[in-house]
Amino acid sequence: MQRVDTTIIGGGPAGLFAAFYAGLRGMSVRIVDSLPDLGGQLTALYPEKYIYDMPGFPAVLAKDLVTQMVKQGLQFSPDLVLGETAAHLHRDDDGYSIETDQGNSLPTRTVIISAGAGAFSPTKLGIEGESEWEGRGLAYGVRNPAEYQGKQVLVIGGGDSAFDWAIALHDHGAQVTLVHRRDVFRAHEETVRSFHARGIQMRLWESVVGIGGDDCVRSATLENNQTKTRELVTTDAVIVNIGFKSSLGPIKTWGVEIEKNQVKVDHLYQTNLPGVFAVGDVCTFDGKIKLIATGVGEAATAVCVAKQLIDPSARLFPGHSSDMDLPVNA
Ligand SMILES: Cc1cc2nc3c(=O)[nH]c(=O)nc-3n(C[C@H](O)[C@H](O)[C@H](O)COP(=O)(O)OP(=O)(O)OC[C@H]3O[C@@H](n4cnc5c(N)ncnc54)[C@H](O)[C@@H]3O)c2cc1C
Coil, strand or helix: which one is 232? strand
**Position 140 confidence tier, pLDDT thresholds 50, 70, 90:** confident
By alpha-carbon position, which residue is closest to atom 19 of ligand 1?
291
Report whether pLDDT(252) > 70.
yes
The verdict on residue 329 lying in a domain is: no
**Position 237 confidence tier, pLDDT thresholds 50, 70, 90:** very high
Residues 79 and 216 occupy one common structural domain:
no
Range scoring the smallest mean pLDDT among 144-158, 237-251, 284-298, 303-317: 237-251
Whether ligand 1 lies within 6 angstroms of the CB of 54 is answered as: no
Neighbour count for residue 249 (Cβ, 10 Å): 16
Coil, strand or helix: which one is 168? helix
Q: Which of 30, 31, 34, 41 gets mutated to test ligand 1 (max ligand atoms within 8 A of its CB)?
A: 41
Q: Which domain holds residue 194?
A: 124-242
* Residue 31 near residue 37 (C-beta atoms within 8 A): no
**Position 46 confidence tier, pLDDT thresholds 50, 70, 90:** confident
Residues 195 and 86 occupy one common structural domain:
no
Average pLDDT over residues 113-125: 85
Q: Domain containing 12 — which CATH number?
A: 3.50.50.60
Average pLDDT over residues 250-260: 95
pLDDT at 330: 60
CA–CA separation, 135 and 137 (whole Å): 6
Residue whose C-alpha is closest to residue 123's, from 217, 219, 284, 247: 247
Average pLDDT over residues 80-93: 94
The verdict on residue 328 lying in a domain is: no
Residues 61 and 169 occupy one common structural domain:
no
| CA of residue 117 to ligand 1 center, whole Å | 7
Residues 130 and 30 occupy one common structural domain:
no
Q: Alpha helix locations (H) across the chain?
A: 13-24, 40-44, 62-73, 130-133, 160-171, 189-197, 292-310
* Residue 108 near residue 30 (C-beta atoms within 8 A): yes
pLDDT at 49: 84
pLDDT at 249: 86
Residue whose C-alpha is closest to residue 212's, from 127, 150, 143, 151: 127
Whether ligand 1 lies within 6 angstroms of the CB of 207 is answered as: no
pLDDT at 27: 98
Residues 72 and 88 occupy one common structural domain:
yes
Q: How far is CA 212 from CA 16, 179, 239, 286, 314, in A?
A: 42, 17, 14, 48, 64
How many domains is the chain built from? 2
The C-alpha angle 137, 144, 248, rounded to 5 degrees, equals 80
Whether ligand 1 lies within 6 angstroms of the CB of 251 is answered as: yes
CA–CA separation, 256 and 329 (whole Å): 38
The verdict on residue 133 lying in a domain is: yes
| CA of residue 120 to ligand 1 center, whole Å | 10
Residues 114 and 251 occupy one common structural domain:
yes
Last residue of a domain, one of 242, 264, 281: 242
* Residue 262 near residue 282 (C-beta atoms within 8 A): yes
Whether ligand 1 lies within 6 angstroms of the CB of 39 is answered as: no
Whether ligand 1 lies within 6 angstroms of the CB of 176 is answered as: no
Whether ligand 1 lies within 6 angstroms of the CB of 236 is answered as: no
Residues 221 and 284 occupy one common structural domain:
no
Rg of the chain in Å (alpha carbons): 22
Alpha-carbon 154 to chain mean position: 24
pLDDT > 70 fraction of the chain, expressed in percent and rounded: 98
Last residue of a domain, one of 212, 242, 272: 242
Q: Give 177-227 pLDDT, tens digit per residue.
A: 999 999 999 888 888 999 999 999 999 999 999 999 999 999 999 999 999
| 3-state SS record for 185-206 | CCCCHHHHHHHHHCCCEEEECE
CA atoms within 13 A on the CB side of 249: 19
| CA of residue 70 to ligand 1 center, whole Å | 14
Average pLDDT over residues 133-154: 92
pLDDT at 325: 86
Q: Give 52-84 pLDDT, tens digit per residue.
A: 999 999 999 998 999 999 999 999 999 999 988
**Position 44 confidence tier, pLDDT thresholds 50, 70, 90:** confident
pLDDT at 207: 97
Residues 249 and 116 occupy one common structural domain:
yes
- Average pLDDT over the chain, rounded to whole? 94
pLDDT at 120: 60
Whether ligand 1 lies within 6 angstroms of the CB of 8 is answered as: no
CA–CA separation, 163 and 156 (whole Å): 9
Which ligand 1 atom sits nearest the alpha carbon of residue 294? Answer: 11
Which ligand 1 atom sits nearest the alpha carbon of residue 35? Answer: 47
What sign has the CA pseudo-torsion 281, 80, 84, 104?
negative
Whether ligand 1 lies within 6 angstroms of the CB of 157 is answered as: no
Report whether pLDDT(48) > 80.
no
Contacts with 275 (C-beta within 8 Å, 6 or more apart), sequence order: 95, 96, 109, 110, 111, 306, 309
Helix (H) or strand (E) holding 80: strand 79-82
Which ligand 1 atom sits nearest the alpha carbon of residue 85? Answer: 42
Residues 128 and 237 occupy one common structural domain:
yes
The verdict on residue 211 lying in a domain is: yes
Residue whose C-alpha is closest to residue 29's, from 263, 282, 256, 303: 303
The verdict on residue 330 lying in a domain is: no
By alpha-carbon position, which residue is closest to atom 26 of ligand 1?
280
| CA of residue 15 to ligand 1 center, whole Å | 10
Residues 78 and 211 occupy one common structural domain:
no
Last residue of a domain, one of 208, 242, 276: 242
Residues 102 and 149 occupy one common structural domain:
no
* Residue 228 near residue 214 (C-beta atoms within 8 A): no
Coil, strand or helix: which one is 317? coil
pLDDT at 267: 98
Residues 47 and 154 occupy one common structural domain:
no
